Amino acid sequence: MNTLHLKLEQQLEFIYQDVDEVKDYRALASSLMAAMGLYEGPHGETGPHEPVAFQNHWSEQDVVLITYGDSLVQQRANQEEEIPPGECLLQQKPLITLKRFLDDYCQDVVNSVHILPFYPYSSDDGFAVINYSAVNESLGGWNDINAISEDYRVMADLVINHCSSRSVWFDNFIKGEGPGHDFFFTCDPSEDVSQVVRPRTSPLLRETQTADGIKHVWCTFSHDQVDFDFRNPKVLLEFVWIIRLYLDNGVKIFRMDAVAFLWKKVATSCLNLEETHEIVRLLRTLIEHAQPDAVIITETNIPNRENLAYFGNANEAHCVYNFSLPPLLVNTLITGSCKHLKQWMMSMPPAQQGTAYFNFIASHDGIGLRPAEGLLSEKELNVMISTMQSFGGRVSMRALDNGKNKPYEINIALVDALQGTTEGPDRWGIARFVCAHSIMFALEGIPGLYIHSLLGTHNDYEKLKHTNHNRSINRHRWDYQALQQQLAEETSDHHKVFNELKNLLAIRTKQAAFHPNATQFTLHLGDQLFGFWRQSIDRSQSIFCIYNISNEEQILNLSEVNLIDLDEWRDLITGDYLQNISGQLAMSPYQVLWISNK
């Protein structure tokens, strides 16, 4: 028996120890290995690869663009060209348009792309998956995913907690027979579910008429998103087959969506249970043996301490979303004080080798508020919420166990969120917006850049009105020709934002001190000047990243930065050398300095 098989058996025993129906861990481990394409060699080898522990699968050159498959829509230039079967007469397949945009506009600064759920779906803009094995025909096909993966690392969503109520699996659940008929978690409504933590306000249980009578199906998110029952090992095995399919089609990064809710136990919170953590570890074990450079990112929009637990001991997620960064950074820039951002930075443990933070400040969802719990006071959160509402944002709620609702996230385009301060809009919007990204680009971790931030896209009120879903406000769909015109027009805000962010990324990807695992220390320069120091892993390069996060000029005393006089120091952004490392610099509102000795 090889070591991988034994490890899988031990993991399975932990996961299913309280499930009486699952006891043959050896057979289940063999099935999982077969599904992943791993063999059991006679001398303990596991094939096709042996993973190396604590190995970084990223560098300072890694930047992930986050986008829907149809965030860009291109009309056909030649209406007489031959149309492939099943393709719209007037529209190019959006995945082809996306590849063209990446090649024409992002090739030098982006090497990875997170294509949000590109499968057939019924709701939630892709997160209610009907068929995990297919690409949505309106977007393209697996050949288009493969074409993108030839030049960029592709991140795909593993929507592992739930699927669509319109899937074949759920149809079979209703009929009581066929594949998937036993895949879903049900609960007697008399059971105590008062402790269950949820991000929504809809009823937890969905009453469903089936061939076996009325059943109450668990729905963490919506009644169109029915939760899987991982107590049934066939569900786990099915997802291993799905992972293998994605690997075979060029996917190298797996975003485990809503994974914190995976395992359910009545009379508990059903959040971050130990079985959930062990399933992530088991999937990590299988994936890294099949594809050593593949990466798992857990999407756990929860308080900071619980989020960090998904690193495990570098044996669980390779990366965790830095969910506290968006609300703290927005708070910093609208209040003109970095007090809370500094406190949080100093509390964050360095990611050990083989793990990294995934930094982002805007996404297809919104600015999560749960990750700010314990970091910002209720009063400060309320000020931020009211400011965002005054800038056109919306607020989504979640249900509490006392029957009341509480703000869960703010839905707003980031360029609109940073159009002003708590005092109202001002003329520093773009500078403030660029400053926010320059902070994110320089922090320890891998930057994830939402396409609508890169393009400076504003709130989409038309889409919000059409869908009546708050998150639609930041899910605009660009006509590609119109976008090209905006990017070419030098007076356009979209042109200004795109070029400033692209220039910053071009600098970032050349600095060893911006490696995701390079050393980071927080500087203490007062509340209006935010700063931190990065040092490359080989200690050859230091970069002092300093930001005026206020709307007034601030004086930087370079003597407080402690620059070593044996080195020559220059600002990477302007290229200017510092003439007096003990002198003073006047920093204009939202000015950025990346002071490097190389």
What is the per-residue pLDDT for 91?
80
pLDDT digits (tens, 9 = 90+) for 414-460: 999 999 999 999 999 999 999 999 999 999 999 999 999 999 999 99
What is the per-residue pLDDT for 83?
53
What is the per-residue pLDDT for 391?
98
Q: Which of 545, 516, 541, 594 is nearest to 61 (CA)?
A: 516
pLDDT digits (tens, 9 = 90+) for 303-318: 888 999 999 999 999 9
B/e letters for 50-63, b = 16+ CB within 10 Å, e = fewer, are ebeeeebbbebbbb
- With a pLDDT cut of 70, the percent of the chain lying above it is 96
* Overall size of the chain counted in residues: 598
Region 476-503: mean pLDDT is: 97
CA 510 from chain centre, in angstroms, equals: 24
CATH topology identical between 64-160+231-514 and 519-596: no
Region 394-423: mean pLDDT is: 92
| Single-letter amino acid, residue 104 | D
| Domain 64-160+231-514, classified CATH 3.20.20.80, yes or no | yes
pLDDT digits (tens, 9 = 90+) for 322-353: 999 999 999 999 999 999 999 999 999 999 99
Q: Which of 315, 250, 295, 291 is nearest to 48 (CA)?
A: 291
DSSP E strands, 360-518: 367-368, 394-399, 405-411, 420-421, 424-425, 446-450, 478-479
Whether pLDDT at 89 is above 70: no
Region 52-79: mean pLDDT is: 89
DSSP E strands, 53-192: 64-67, 72-73, 112-115, 153-159, 162-164
Whether pLDDT at 529 is above 60: yes
What is the per-residue pLDDT for 420?
98
- Which residue numbers are catalytic? 257
pLDDT digits (tens, 9 = 90+) for 12-61: 999 999 999 999 999 999 999 999 999 876 555 555 677 888 899 999 99
Domain extents in the chain: 64-160+231-514, 519-596
For the residues of 273-337, what is the DSSP string, one character each?
-HHHHHHHHHHHHHHHHH-TT-EEEE---S-HHHHHGGGTTTTS-SEEE-TTHHHHHHHHHHHT-
At 398, the pLDDT band (50, 70, 90 cuts) reads confident
Residue 314's Cβ-count burial label (10 Å; 0-12, 13-18, 19+) is middle
Question: 3-class DSSP state for residue 357?
Answer: strand
CATH topology of domain 519-596: Immunoglobulin-like (2.60.40)
pLDDT digits (tens, 9 = 90+) for 115-162: 999 999 999 999 999 999 999 999 999 999 999 999 999 999 999 999
Pairing of strands 72-73, 478-479: parallel
d(CA 193, CA 157): 28
What is the per-residue pLDDT for 402?
77
At 377, the pLDDT band (50, 70, 90 cuts) reads very high
Whether pLDDT at 1 is above 60: no
Q: Which of 65-69, 170-174, 229-233, 465-469 has the lowest mean pLDDT?
A: 465-469
Write down the mean pLDDT value for the chain.
94
- Beta-carbon contacts of 301 under 8 Å, excluding residues fewer than 6 positions away, are 199, 260, 321, 323, 365, 368, 370, 371, 409
What is the per-residue pLDDT for 46?
55
Identify the DSSP state of 576. Answer: P
H-run or E-run covering 241: helix 233-248
Residue 189 CA: distances (Å) to CA of 272, 285, 295: 23, 37, 39
